[in-house]
Amino acid sequence: MEITQEALRKMFATMVTIRNFELRAFTEVGQRSLRGALHLSVGQEAVPTGVCAHLTDADYLASTHRGHGHCIAKGVDVRGMMAEILQRATGTNKGKGGSMHIADMTKGMLGANGVVGSSVPLAVGAAMAARQRGSDQVAVAFFGDGAINQGVVHESMNLAAIWKLPVIFVCENNQYAESTPVEYATPIPDLAERARGYNIPGVVVDGMDVFAVYDAAGAAIGRARAGLGPTLLECKTYRYYGHAAFDNPKNYRTTEEEDAWKARDVIAGFRERAVAEGLLDAAELDALEAEAAQLIEDSVRFADESPEPDLSELLTDVYLDTPTNALARTAHL
Amino acid sequence: MEITQEALRKMFATMVTIRNFELRAFTEVGQRSLRGALHLSVGQEAVPTGVCAHLTDADYLASTHRGHGHCIAKGVDVRGMMAEILQRATGTNKGKGGSMHIADMTKGMLGANGVVGSSVPLAVGAAMAARQRGSDQVAVAFFGDGAINQGVVHESMNLAAIWKLPVIFVCENNQYAESTPVEYATPIPDLAERARGYNIPGVVVDGMDVFAVYDAAGAAIGRARAGLGPTLLECKTYRYYGHAAFDNPKNYRTTEEEDAWKARDVIAGFRERAVAEGLLDAAELDALEAEAAQLIEDSVRFADESPEPDLSELLTDVYLDTPTNALARTAHL
Amino acid sequence: MTQTAERLLSYRDAINEALRQEMERNPDIVLLGEDIAGAAGRRDQGFVDAWGGPFRTTQNLIQQFGEDRVRDTPISEAAFIGAAIGAAAAGMRTVAELMYMDFVGVCFDQLLNNAAKMRYMYGGNVQLPFTMLTRIGAGVGSAAQHSESLYALMAHIPGLKGVVPSDAYTAKGLLTAAMRSNDPVIVFEHKLLYGLQSHVPEEPYELEIGKARTVREGSDVTLVGISRMTQVCLEAADALAAEGIDAEVVDLLSVFPIDYDHIADSVRKTHRMVVVDEDTPTCSVAADIAATVGEEAFDYLDAPIMRVQAPHTPVPYARNLELAYIPDATRVANTVRQQLGA
Amino acid sequence: MTQTAERLLSYRDAINEALRQEMERNPDIVLLGEDIAGAAGRRDQGFVDAWGGPFRTTQNLIQQFGEDRVRDTPISEAAFIGAAIGAAAAGMRTVAELMYMDFVGVCFDQLLNNAAKMRYMYGGNVQLPFTMLTRIGAGVGSAAQHSESLYALMAHIPGLKGVVPSDAYTAKGLLTAAMRSNDPVIVFEHKLLYGLQSHVPEEPYELEIGKARTVREGSDVTLVGISRMTQVCLEAADALAAEGIDAEVVDLLSVFPIDYDHIADSVRKTHRMVVVDEDTPTCSVAADIAATVGEEAFDYLDAPIMRVQAPHTPVPYARNLELAYIPDATRVANTVRQQLGA
Ligand SMILES: Cc1ncc(C[n+]2csc(CCOP(=O)(O)OP(=O)(O)O)c2C)c(N)n1
Ligand SMILES: Cc1ncc(C[n+]2csc(CCOP(=O)(O)OP(=O)(O)O)c2C)c(N)n1
Ligand SMILES: [Mg+2]
Ligand SMILES: [Mg+2]
């Protein structure tokens, strides 16, 4: 598939932003002794980047507990995301959701979600809404290699298939669900194989290669927009860090395995290829990296300058019209 | 697969018993104006019969809302079943469960179940228990073409596959889930195809031919007993009557379709083939039919002579040791 | 033609009419559920609307609104109810049917973690015009897995609303309100009420969610009914009236929000209360009302608040046991007599 | 070596010890759950017990009992919890872990329609020695989907039992009792209690399911605590004691069956009660206790029964909001003061 220089720049910027954002958020959360899980997708940046390169704000995305990359690639404001994680009133979600629940309907971002598999049918519904209104919007459902064994994921693929809905099911196979290896939890080498059970295309994609992801996603999204129904993409990738801060992955995987995956790092690989093939030059890439670093810096400053949520927010956003005092009747706040 | 004359006799007896039992229960329930759904499996008798011919009381079976055939084939007492449906204290379940919840642990019958798909993991668990104790017991999970789109069925097949448990997943594809045609609800011609997603054998079986079911089930059960793991059998079959009493299937299917399936009726077909091939003679078959008719007759008499459950049964069998008055504290019975 | 206000309609037809009128008014509404039409995909063979819903509450809708707005689904509640929630977040207005409340377990996560929590955890960044229809109640001989009420489970979950219409009039008004709401609302239809007729205006109308109503004035005791139990309370009130006991009957109508103020006002007048609830007793709506009103109207109570509930058991199959299970007018009247020390 | 009775153990270690001792005693017990060992299938690569459970409550068990009795599972709660129920029906004794109670929605049907109902609908024809472990509680900054308590949902379901240990001693005794029971029992571990130490006998022992205990005697008011809220009640009681208010503290320990008699006896002595519950308020265990004890001890009450609960909202993320969400000693003490008219 052809890629414009503009698109290339955007993809590189997205990937470095994701990586910088996560590493910085991790440091900030640690230094401030904030609690709450932060799931880093470092290593997996190619997947949301290559997929979302084909989307506009009108398209939908449903995400997971490991959702920073999906959010950033879908265009959610990075400052708002940092403020959210750092528990500020100016966060994307007023500091009420945190890392696992970042959402922005204006960007078609239906939300990160802390329950494995739970957000997948939301994407199916958004795709149904799109069809209903006759638009060519699509919806992408991201989920992991662990999530593929959740019943609702199976049901969702069947539903999208029989209704030929414009959904792209993107399974990010990062080889592990917490400490559980994918080869233990599923008896097939390629998870994409499951697509056959729904009579939809199932494609194995090199998730460490943003060009490969871009191509496969482009084809799937094209099919979806054309009314040809859903596709399952299995993107083989790797998370460089633990499941969350407390987890030391050395307890379940070898250094050789880690090194082999990291040797194919997407950001380094992209730089190399872009320069080698003369797609973008090194100075341009450096500038994009510097810009991303600045954006992250700004986002931390923005969060620092923002207030924490007002205590009254405890009782808002539950219902639209129910008086908040009715919600605290027996709480004796 | 070789079949002994004894086994042939048993299979024929089972099939005519199932059919007679259901038609009679239907009449009795109607005449007595008992409420509650009764789901007839008439037309599908070959499936439980061919499968259960390979099982002993030590093996397990998990059933559905359409479970009379499974129960009878698994050896549950027919008199107790009739008494159960006719709401008697002598029912298999004291009249507390009814048609949709017939169970008998002494026969390995883990229960009919009114929630679609819900009983499937129970069979997986029973199979795990068998493995744990090092026996060669197997567990059979029956479910419908509608149930295959329930998440828990998917999860169960994966679990049994990765643990190589001795489970036989028997999908009775009777073409409909209530009024919903299978070709609407699933996008693949053969549901057995889904087995690939779990790397287990998936076999399409002619569910109107008890010999075919016997052979396929024998192979699958043999594999399971040998520790080779689960199999998915899709038995293509047909329910002759509506989903339940209120349903007129003429509202969603053609008479030609019905006639084509009924032309392959398993009981008539068995008789024809057995006689033609000299396996059993007509007099023998007549005697077996008469015996079955007598058994059903007896079962109705047994039920008639039995008392209805004592009112105290309302509060028993919830917990083993909690005083029953604690369960009615605010009921003002 | 009869006057609008005098037109009699069954609970079933009132539900059907509410759906039809709202779908006419608002093209964004889509209906999803199992066999809500029936014979899915066989229009070209001459089959359509084979079922019109398992209890015929959705019949004729597919003829009028077509397959895209009246979608039969596979037996995949988690997926299609999740999809209805996702579609609502994406700008549609969805109504999904869960055939029986007893099946809520297969899609519980979608209600608990998505429908109920999305707005809060997203800091207000979403609207959820999602309605779930389901049905409750024992009395049809369907045993443990097709007879429960369980609305207390939903009332326990912050973010959901729930309504329990007790007759055709309230069914139409509450369902209409649910479909117009931007909060997720669950509508609990009672199986034994489908045939019950009452006066139902022809034009669309809303009843406010969260408001109870007094269906009979009285001075000696307040009976609170939930869903069909309101009919049972009215029956008991008649029996008690014959003995000179004047019962007020409050029809709860919403199990969340619960209209404690309305009930407490009644109790401040009558000084006694019996709450009648077909749902299982522990952590029930009846217990919640007793606790809250017991606290807020404490000084007005002349007797302990009592409850008439199902026992803490599954629903039995045999008719005699099932009849013993369901609270009835005799049990209610006896409880009032006991409370009055008679 | 220290005396048995004086040995201090953390809540986490008490749970681990109960599992280990019972599994030693009874070879039929099998444990299932996600990452309860970790590094599943990689023993030959030198990896085993990588996690020992997400909160390390199951660590070292796989080394002692092997892969067959300590089974890591895929993320398929409906299937593996259903399998644990089926295995129990087939003669095994199973303990399945649901990582967080918030996830109960994905396997709710198995609990509601199988575990809870099988014995009843089968007319007694089954034993169900099935225990589910799960964890509850806010306070760890994990927001709306990893912080809820929700035990009221389980208490509402006839056929299930539930225990809420409040310290290491009760954790070991109740978990041991659960594993020996032939009824399905859910054990709710509180995340903030894992580090709490108390005296725990080394030998196995059972605490009777369905019995509350008085952890502090007092004469002015009864505080009822559930799970970690018992610790909060004790803290509040200390604060009140300084003002001359003598609070009795009852530790509920079981959310089904609920020991109403024990609580009512206390209230008959103190004439006042405040129930403290971290779960959301509507149809909660606190409401249930208030309703039932309010009825049964009505004549002894000098003031309305009050509750200190979470608000009817999801759990917020930001620390300041989360702290406001969880009932604490200040809120409890203030409520007591209010009740006493101080
Ligand atoms: C229903 C449910 N079960 C368990 C968990 C706990 N949990 C959180 S993330 C996770 C692993 C998910 O693995 P995968 O789908 O591969 O995503 P990854 O973490 O690798 O991105 C688990 C088990 C959960 N959040 N939800
Ligand atoms: C979870 C759930 N959803 C819906 C139903 C209502 N229902 C009962 S039987 C049935 C159809 C089942 O179809 P299938 O699995 O093909 O079995 P069959 O009736 O054909 O034997 C439905 C939808 C149910 N019992 N449980
Ligand atoms: Mg993974
Ligand atoms: Mg079928």
Q: What CATH number has the domain bearing residue C259?
A: 3.40.50.920
Q: Please tell me which residue of chain A has the smallest CA distance to D50.
A: A251
Confidence bin at D342 (pLDDT 50/70/90)? low
Q: Does some domain include residue C207?
A: no
The string of DSSP letters for D20-44 reads HHHHHH-TTEEEEETTSS-STT-GG
Domain that holds residue D20: 2-199
Domain that holds residue B148: 5-308
Q: Is there a contact between D177 and D244 (Cβ–Cβ < 8 Å)?
A: no
Same domain assignment for residues C258 and C138: no
Q: Average pLDDT for residues C276-302, to the nearest whole number?
A: 98
Question: Hey, what are A233's tokens?
Answer: 């993409």
- What is the 8-class DSSP label of residue C188? E
A242 φ, ψ to 5°?
-70, 175
CB < 8 Å to D110, chain B: 118, 121, 152
Q: Does some domain include residue C204?
A: no
Same domain assignment for residues D187 and D282: no
Q: How many CA within 13 A on the CB side of residue C186?
A: 34
**Portion 141-160 of A in contact with B at CB < 8 A:** 149-155, 158
Same domain assignment for residues C23 and C166: yes
Same domain assignment for residues C284 and C256: yes
The string of DSSP letters for A92-129 reads TTTTSS-GGG--BGGGTB----SSTTTTHHHHHHHHHH
How many whole angstroms from its chain centre is CA D301? 29
Catalytic, D146? Answer yes
CB < 8 Å to A36, chain D: 140-143, 317
d(CA C275, CA C230): 10
CA angle B180, B184, B185 (to 5 degrees): 75
Q: Does some domain include residue D207?
A: no
Q: Average pLDDT for residues C113-127, to the nearest whole number?
A: 97
Confidence bin at A37 (pLDDT 50/70/90)? confident
pLDDT reading at D199 higher than 50: yes
d(CA C255, CA C156): 10
Catalytic residue selected from C146, C156, C190, C271: C146
Q: Does some domain include residue A185?
A: yes
Q: Is there a contact between A67 and A117 (Cβ–Cβ < 8 Å)?
A: no
Q: Does some domain include residue B152?
A: yes
d(CA D135, CA D98): 8
Total tally of structural domains belonging to chain D: 2
Nearest CA to ligand 2 atom 11: B177
Interchain contact, C320 vs B308, CB within 8 Å: yes
d(CA A262, CA A255): 10
- pLDDT of res. A322: 84
Cβ of residue C118 closer than 8 Å to a chain D Cβ: no
Dihedral sign for Cα atoms in the order C105, C109, C114, C117: positive
Any idea which ligand is nearest the CA of A44? 1
Q: Where are the alpha helices (DSSP H) in B99-169?
A: 120-132, 151-162
A21 lines ligand 1 (CB under 6 A): no
Interchain contact, A179 vs D39, CB within 8 Å: yes
- pLDDT of res. D4: 54
Dihedral sign for Cα atoms in the order C245, C251, C256, C260: negative
C136, C167, C199: which is the final residue of a domain? Answer: C199
Question: Hey, what are A176's tokens?
Answer: 């592990």
Q: Please tell me which residue of chain A has the smallest CA distance to C295.
A: A330
C140, C171, C199: which is the final residue of a domain? Answer: C199
Q: Does some domain include residue D208?
A: no
pLDDT reading at D2 higher than 50: no
Over residues A193-227, the pLDDT tens digits come to 999 999 999 999 999 999 999 999 999 999 999 99
pLDDT reading at C1 higher than 50: no
Q: Average pLDDT for residues C118-135, to the nearest whole number?
A: 97
Same domain assignment for residues C182 and C236: no
Candidates D307, D321, D328: best to mutate against A (most CBs of A within 10 A) is: D321
Q: Is there a contact between C189 and C292 (Cβ–Cβ < 8 Å)?
A: no
Q: Does some domain include residue B318?
A: no
Q: Is there a contact between B169 and B143 (Cβ–Cβ < 8 Å)?
A: yes
pLDDT reading at A1 higher than 80: no
- Helices D168-180 and D11-25, packing angle to 10 deg: 30
Same domain assignment for residues C123 and C267: no
**Count H helices, E strands: chain C?**
12, 14
Same domain assignment for residues D100 and D154: yes
Q: Average pLDDT for residues B187-204, to the nearest whole number?
A: 98
- pLDDT of res. D187: 99
Which of these, C42, C4, C11, C326, lies nearest to C188 by C-alpha position? Answer: C11
Which residues does B223 contact at the CB level (< 8 Å), separation at least 6?
Answer: B201, B229, B231
Q: Does some domain include residue A319?
A: no
Q: Where are the beta strands (DSSP E) in chain C?
A: 8-10, 29-33, 70-72, 93-98, 130-136, 161-163, 185-190, 197-199, 213-216, 221-225, 247-251, 254-256, 273-277, 306-309
Over residues C89-112, the pLDDT tens digits come to 999 999 999 999 999 999 999 999
Q: Is there a contact between D12 and D59 (Cβ–Cβ < 8 Å)?
A: no
B204 φ, ψ to 5°?
-85, 130
Q: Does some domain include residue B328?
A: no
Over residues B142-169, the pLDDT tens digits come to 999 999 999 999 999 999 999 999 999 9
pLDDT reading at A66 higher than 90: yes
Q: Please tell me which residue of chain B has the smallest CA distance to A151.
A: B151
Over residues A222-249, the pLDDT tens digits come to 999 999 999 999 999 999 999 998 999 9
Distance A33 CA to ligand 1 centre (A): 24
In this prediction the ipTM stands at 0.98
Total tally of structural domains belonging to chain A: 1
Q: Is there a contact between C97 and C33 (Cβ–Cβ < 8 Å)?
A: yes
Same domain assignment for residues D56 and D128: yes
Distance D52 CA to ligand 1 centre (A): 16
Task: Provide the CATH number for the domain around residue C96.
Answer: 3.40.50.970
Q: Does some domain include residue D323?
A: yes
Q: Does some domain include residue C205?
A: no
Interchain contact, A96 vs D318, CB within 8 Å: yes
Interchain contact, D91 vs B316, CB within 8 Å: no
Using left for φ > 0, alpha for ψ between -120 and 50, and beta otherwise, residue C181 falls in beta
Q: Does some domain include residue C234?
A: yes
- Amino acid code (one letter) for B23: L
C164, C199, C234: which is the final residue of a domain? Answer: C199
**Portion 288-317 of D in contact with C at CB < 8 A:** 288, 290-292, 294-296, 298, 301, 303-307, 311-314, 316-317
Same domain assignment for residues C43 and C150: yes
- pLDDT of res. C5: 59
B185 lines ligand 2 (CB under 6 A): no
Over residues B224-258, the pLDDT tens digits come to 999 999 999 999 999 999 999 899 999 999 999 99
Over residues A84-113, the pLDDT tens digits come to 999 999 999 999 999 999 999 999 999 999
Same domain assignment for residues D99 and D66: yes
Name the burial class of residue B9, with classes exposed (0-12), middle (13-18) and buried (19+) by CB atoms within 10 angstroms of its CB.
middle
Same domain assignment for residues D78 and D125: yes
C51 lines ligand 2 (CB under 6 A): no
Question: Hey, what are D147's tokens?
Answer: 């912080």
Task: Provide the CATH number for the domain around residue A146.
Answer: 3.40.50.970
Helix H or strand E segment including B260: helix B255-262
Q: Does some domain include residue D298?
A: yes
Confidence bin at C2 (pLDDT 50/70/90)? very low
Q: Where are the beta strands (DSSP E) in A120-177?
A: 139-144, 167-173, 176-177
* Atom nearest to A182 CA in ligand 1: 16
Over residues D235-285, the pLDDT tens digits come to 999 999 999 999 999 999 999 999 999 999 999 999 999 999 999 999 999
d(CA D74, CA D70): 13
Using left for φ > 0, alpha for ψ between -120 and 50, and beta otherwise, residue D271 falls in left
* Atom nearest to A116 CA in ligand 1: 26
Q: Does some domain include residue B233?
A: yes
